Amino acid sequence: MADAVVIPGMMFGPAAPLLMYTGDVAARRGARLHRHYWSAEPPHPSQPPIEQWVRDEVRPLLDSVEGRPLLIAKSLGTNAAALAAERSLPAVWLTPLLTMPWVAAALGRATAPFLLVGGTADELWDGDLARRLTPHVMEVEGADHGMYVPGPLTDSIAVLSRVVVAVDEFLTATPWPSAD
């Protein structure tokens, strides 16, 4: 059985809608989901110590999972990109912190395929960098860090649906789960 590790952002935990539905895509493909919950308040998210803090938080869960799990992370959780690069793990990075040099550098070291999902109104997103890092990019015009777009709430709900489709297509196009 394949495994997927869901790593939250700073505010809402791994069952927030964007992470929940993304995890459900993997679960419907037979993955056993492992949802991580932060054990403490993180340090300031824009400072380099945050990468080590996330690494220390996530490593025990990754060590408990056999094989090469899929990582699914949002925002703060994308500081796990260094672990993904070291372990050659495929990933779905939702609203990654591309403006943090250590996150961008870790993504640049990745050897396994990954999908980047972000919006043009997110100050932490860099669409040009995203497209240089991977051919798997979903960029939503006008979406902010929560993947909300201007207009009626139903427009933002439609973005969530588009993310689910992008994740499903990414997993179809990549060798996950892999046979180890």
Confirm if 79 and 103 have CB atoms less than 8 A apart. Answer: yes
Confidence of residue 47 (pLDDT cuts 50, 70, 90): confident
Predicted confidence (pLDDT) at residue 38 exceeds the cutoff of 70: yes
Measured torsion, CA atoms of residues 123, 113, 155, 14, in degrees rounded to the nearest 10: -80
Domains along the sequence of the chain with CATH: 3-173 (3.40.50.1820)
Three-class secondary structure of residue 166 per DSSP: helix
**133-153 pLDDT per residue, tens:** 999 999 999 999 999 999 999
Q: Cα(164)–Cα(167) distance, rounded to whole angstroms?
A: 5
- Predicted confidence at residue 178, as pLDDT, reads 62
- Predicted confidence at residue 158, as pLDDT, reads 98
Mean pLDDT (whole number) for 116-122: 98
- What is the separation of C-alpha 96 from the centre of its chain, rounded to a whole number of angstroms? 7
Task: Output phi, psi for 169, to 5 deg.
Answer: -65, -40
Exposure on the CB side of residue 82, measured as CA atoms within 13 A: 18
User: Among 5-19, 23-37, 75-89, whose mean pLDDT is lowest?
Assistant: 5-19
Range 42-77 burial, b when 16+ CB lie within 10 A, else e: eeebeeeebbebbbebbeebbeeeeebbbbbbbbbb
Q: Cα(180)–Cα(108) distance, rounded to whole angstroms?
A: 24
